[in-house]
Structure 1
Amino acid sequence: MARGTRSFAVIGLGAFGSTVATELARFGNRVIGLDLDDRRVSQMTATLSSAVILDTTDEGALREAGIDRYDVALVAIGDDLESSILTVMNLKLMGLSEIWVKAANKAHHRILSKLGVDRVIQPEQEMGRHIAQMLNNPALQDYVSLGNGFSVVNIVVPERLAGRHLTALGLGTTHDLRLLGVMRGSEFRHADEDSVLETDDKLIVLGKRPDLRKFGDSL
């Protein structure tokens, strides 16, 4: 296994689980995929380190598959709350050091939090918020939430600002934000006060959401 990689057990190979498993494998990690559906498992055999048909509510079966030797488990079982919860309990009993779980709803989320998992994911809600941010401000290409109200956003420079210096944006003065750099095409540039903007430059900006929203509106 390549230096810096980890091993992952992805339980549930539906659309969400199979996508995560595929990407983790693409990054060079050792990934095992587990599902009761033989069709889903067979579709992943060529992509993952291994793919196994397994009932993960059976602690003994999980131990036989060696899941306790993996660094991280992602439980991506769909709407079967009982199977999801039993699987998490088995993983906790086995001493998995890190467990992430996809939650189907708020009640599921609350139960998982009580079980002490490391991260509860609600993909539809998280993606919904992401899309709403971009729909609300067409200049916003992408963003990453860092917690504590801070985000990093990727904002496209509109044509009307082409040829102007970065100081015209008021970053760090009018707007309490920090410019991390500028993407021009596929090239990343460290920006300074003398930098001149071009149409379709992408500004990578760090700050709190209200300040980022105000800045986006000003463009």
Structure 2
Amino acid sequence: MKKKDFAVIGLGRFGGSICRTLTEQGKEVLVVDKSEARVNEYATIASHAVVGDTTDEAMLRSIGIRNFDHVIVAIGDDIQSSILTTLILKELGVENITVKAQNDYHEKVLRKIGANSVVHPERDMGIRIANNMASNNVLDYLGLSDDHSIVEIVANKRLDGHTIIGLDIRKKYGINIVAIKRGSEIIVSPQAKEMIQLNDILIVIGSDIDIEKFTHKVMK
């Protein structure tokens, strides 16, 4: 049987947004939720919509869940259902399983039972917002891992007129400027002699500790 695209289990805000985005990208999406009202809401958006309890192995078998390339478990606050659903999916041979975790303990259990990827949407968004609020110069924040990130930083007067090599940012702070946005221009992998201008947007990658050290010492 030909593999299908995606299945999304759980139609809260997180699962619903994934369904909408994948559908907009032209993907075939099956959605499953215990709530008939939620399933009806997405019945005209997703390729297929099913009301069902995904902790029931027979139910998952009946909808051919193992034939999907990627299953996203976006179950909300019911950690037990999230774990049991993930375990059944793994036992049924689903190759790619991404699961929404409620906390670190939940993540540890999910990884032990075979989840390929675990996400913390609420926590990660909270970190992103906090980082943006903590510094007026930080425009955006993207966590790459638990301790490394990419940030967009607005160049201030202390950086204006200095070259990258002159500032010696990599040696002093352990971070790298991977690109510079200057108006409508984007300079990818800027040369060491590139001179930073006031209000340039520096796209910086590094450990969270090093980025924080840089923003506190240079960007104030």
Listed as ranges, the matches of 1:185-204 within 5 Å are 185-190=183-188, 191-204=190-203
2:83 corresponds to 1:89: no
Secondary structure, in 3 states, of the residue corresponding to 2:173? coil
TM-align CA RMSD: 2.4
CA distance in 2, matches of 1:139, 1:152: 14
Distance 1:10 1:163, change over 3 A: same
Task: Find the aligned partners of 2:210 and 2:81 in 1 and give their Cα distance.
Answer: 43
The residue matched to 2:169 in structure 1 has which SS? coil
Shift >6 Å, 4+ stretches: none
Structure 2 residues not aligned, in runs of 5+? none
Local SS of the residue matching 1:100: strand
For residues 81 and 143 of structure 2, what CA distance do their matches in structure 1 show? 31
Amino acid of the structure 2 residue aligned with 1:179: I
User: Shift of residue 160 of structure 1?
Assistant: 5.8
- The one-letter amino acid of 1:158's match is N
State which of 38, 48, 51 in structure 2 corresponds to 1:50: 48
> 1:168, 1:140 → 2: CA distance?
22
CA distance in 2, matches of 1:186, 1:25: 31
Tell me how far apart the structure 2 counterparts of residues 89 and 174 of structure 1 sit (CA, whole Å): 46
Compared CA separation, residues 110 and 146, structure 1 to 2 (3 A): closer
Amino acid at match of 2:92: M
- 1:37-186 mapped onto 2 (5 Å cutoff): 37-147=35-145, 149-158=147-156, 161-186=159-184
Match of 1:172, SS?
helix
Q: Helix, strand or coil for the counterpart of 1:71? A: strand
Q: Is the 8 A contact 2:87 2:114 kept in 1?
A: no
What 5-or-longer segments of structure 1 have no aligned partner?
1-5
Residue 161 of structure 1: how far off its partner (Å): 4.2
Q: 1:158 to 1:111 in 2, by over 3 A?
A: same
Q: Does 1:22 align with 2:20?
A: yes
State the alpha-carbon separation in 1 of the partners of residues 161 and 16 from structure 2.
45
Distance 1:50 1:198, change over 3 A: farther
1:9, distance to aligned residue in structure 2 (A): 0.9
**What TM-score, normalized to structure 1?**
0.84
Deviation at 1:94, TM superposition (A): 0.9
Amino acid at match of 2:42: M
Deviations 1:68-127 (A, max 9, x none): 111111111111233222212221121011212122344433432332212232322222
Q: Kindly provide the amino acid, as one letter, of the partner of residue 205 in structure 1.
A: V
**Per-residue displacement from partner, 1:162-211 (whole Å, max 9, x unpaired)?**
45544454323433322211123454213234434344321111222222
CA gap of 1:41–1:119, structure 2 versus 1, over 3 A, is: same
What is the CA–CA distance in structure 2 between the aligned matches of 1:200 and 1:49, rounded to whole Å?
45
User: Does 140-149 or 127-136 show the bigger shift?
Assistant: 140-149
TM-score normalized with structure 2 length: 0.83
- Give % identity: 38
Stretch of structure 1 that moved more, 162-171 or 10-19: 162-171
Cα gap change, 1:107 to 1:148, in 2 (>3 Å) = closer
Q: How many residues align?
A: 214
